[in-house]
């Protein structure tokens, strides 16, 4: 009858300490390549011996560390890893966390172990039978199911609509893969800084992407809009978007137009911490919903604590439809937000303000 015998043993590696005064050479009969795996924390044990095959007291060594390098000699993110004593005399252990391995393809890694002896000198702990300083770890990448890491997008392409507004699009985001269990939803974490404008998610069922791919879908998942005071942080929008029959997504946003010049305002600080703002000169070339920022330092306060954001409600000749940025239009009506710090009166002009999306993380 055929027998298959298997052995279960820890990832224990024999190391030879370079100690002065020994006259017997330790030769390991079999030095195996140690396997480690993606997706888990890998703990390695080190049996630290002298040349007479006797385990040594690890208290005679300090700062025992394992250096792990890829095939090109680049250290892993948190290398070196501390080797700590175990309950077994002469045996230490160190753990390579899964976070340091998830982005690596299967390959052979190299490692070395160093320590500081009782004289304060750095010493190598030899890892093979020929007093070699470098050992081999085989990184196996297919032992556990693969999880897809989050993807981050932080570049956008802008186009100008017929009203002169910039519309910014992320690159196309694929949502279907060769999977045993199909992706049913995606989570969009959208990070913004001092944002004013509107953000939405577009989708297409097209198999290939063209300029017109997303236009026919409209805004199937609604949108998120910030007016008045700028918003900083992760916006409350984009969680668990259903994939359905869509093949690609993209994130699109609009922000105030950077157009118009020459407007001036009279600003009065109020006792209740608000501002009163009047138009002194309407300027020219402005459009509805564009934003003008006035620094708090222009108003006897601080920036950004006392900044004012003025939103243009209408311009001369405008109806409910925005006037093109190419039309000469002065500001006719405004609203504003801001917190004042004194009761002074100021005549000021500001700068045209536009927002950007910092990043999109898709998981």
pTM score above 0.85? no
Q: What is the pLDDT of residue 277?
A: 92
- Kindly state the tokens that stand for 340: 């004042």
Q: What pLDDT is attached to residue 315?
A: 84
Give the full edge-to-edge strand order of the sheet including 331-337.
331-337, 308-315, 291-294, 351-353
Question: CA-to-CA distance for 329 and 178, rounded, in angstroms?
Answer: 54
Distances 259 to 12, 298, 309 between C-alpha atoms, Å: 68, 21, 15
Q: Of the candidates 9, 16, 107, 100, which has an alpha carbon nearest to the alpha carbon of residue 54? A: 16
Q: What is the mean pLDDT of each run of 10 residues along the chain (363 residues)?
A: 49 60 53 75 78 74 81 79 81 82 80 77 67 76 68 83 76 75 85 89 85 78 87 90 89 84 90 90 83 89 89 71 55 89 88 86 85
Inter-residue contact 72 to 90 (CB < 8 Å): no
State the pLDDT at residue 32: 64
């Amino acid at each position: 009858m055929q027998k298959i015998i298997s052995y279960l043993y820890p990832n224990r590696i024999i190391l030879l300490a370079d100690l002065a005064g020994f006259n017997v050479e330790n030769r390991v009969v079999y030095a195996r390549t140690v396997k480690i795996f993606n997706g888990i924390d890998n703990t390695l044990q080190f049996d630290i011996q002298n040349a007479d095959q006797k385990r040594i007291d690890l208290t005679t060594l300090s700062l025992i560390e394992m250096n792990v390098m890829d095939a090109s000699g680049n250290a892993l993110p948190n290398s070196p890893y501390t080797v700590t004593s175990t309950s077994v005399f002469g045996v230490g252990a160190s753990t390579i966390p899964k976070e340091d391995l998830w982005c690596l393809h299967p390959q052979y890694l190299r490692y070395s172990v160093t320590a500081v002896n009782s004289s304060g000198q750095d010493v190598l702990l030899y890892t093979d039978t020929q007093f070699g300083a470098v050992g081999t770890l085989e990184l196996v990448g297919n032992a556990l199911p693969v999880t897809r890491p989050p993807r981050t997008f932080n570049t956008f392409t802008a186009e100008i609509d017929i009203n002169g507004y910039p519309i910014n699009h992320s690159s196309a985001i694929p949502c279907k893969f060769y999977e045993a269990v199909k992706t049913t939803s995606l989570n969009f974490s959208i990070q913004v800084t001092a944002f004013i404008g509107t953000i939405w998610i577009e989708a297409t069922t097209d198999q290939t992407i063209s300029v017109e791919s997303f236009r026919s879908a409209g805004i199937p998942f609604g949108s998120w809009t910030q007016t008045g005071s700028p918003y900083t942080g992760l916006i409350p929008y984009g969680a668990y978007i259903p994939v359905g029959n869509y093949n690609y997504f993209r994130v699109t946003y609009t922000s105030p137009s950077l157009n118009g010049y020459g407007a001036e305002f009279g600003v009065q600080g109020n006792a209740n911490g608000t501002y009163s703002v009047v138009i002194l000169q309407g300027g020219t070339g402005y459009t509805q919903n564009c934003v003008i920022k006035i620094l708090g330092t222009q108003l006897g306060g601080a920036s950004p604590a006392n900044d004012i954001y003025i939103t243009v409600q209408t311009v001369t000749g405008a109806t409910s439809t925005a006037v093109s940025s190419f039309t000469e239009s002065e500001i006719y009506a405004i609203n504003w937000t801001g917190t004042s710090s004194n009761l002074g009166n100021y005549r000021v002009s500001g700068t045209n303000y536009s927002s950007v999306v910092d990043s999109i993380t898709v998981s």
